[in-house]
Amino acid sequence: MDGQELEAQETARPPELTIAAQRLKRDVVGDEFAIGGRHIQPLAQMTGWYGSDAHARAGVAWAWLRLRPTGVQVREADGQETLVPIEDATGAALRGIALVGLVTAVICWFIMLVKRRQ
């Protein structure tokens, strides 16, 4: 391409700095391995957002991802399969504690606003 063609492309498509984001939700299956005649395969769920600049010129790319284990697929030697779910009790407790802290902060903030107006 010569310089005139590049200029024509530049004027036809101005370099905007808009960021295009896309939601991501995928099931991830790990590598299967054998232990004592059983074949075990970990399962997880990947969620988040990813994106880049709209014209892919500036090289801007970003991602926010969360990988959460969901279970383990166990295949016995006789071919019987069992799905063993993984529950995150610690994560649920921490989310509950964070929610209580947030509600307490909002109530305190509201009380401060009411007291200031009196």
**Strands (DSSP E) found in 13-94:** 19-29, 33-35, 38-53, 61-75, 81-85
pLDDT of residue 29: 93
pLDDT in tens, 27-75: 999 999 999 889 999 999 999 998 876 665 666 778 899 999 999 999 9
**pTM more than 0.85:** no
pLDDT of residue 56: 56
Please give the DSSP secondary-structure letter assigned to residue 58. S
What ranges do the domains of the chain cover?
3-87, 88-118
> Among positive and negative, which fits the CA dihedral 97, 100, 106, 110?
negative
Question: 3-class DSSP state for residue 109?
Answer: helix
pLDDT in tens, 59-115: 677 889 999 999 999 999 898 999 999 988 898 999 999 999 999 999 999 999 998
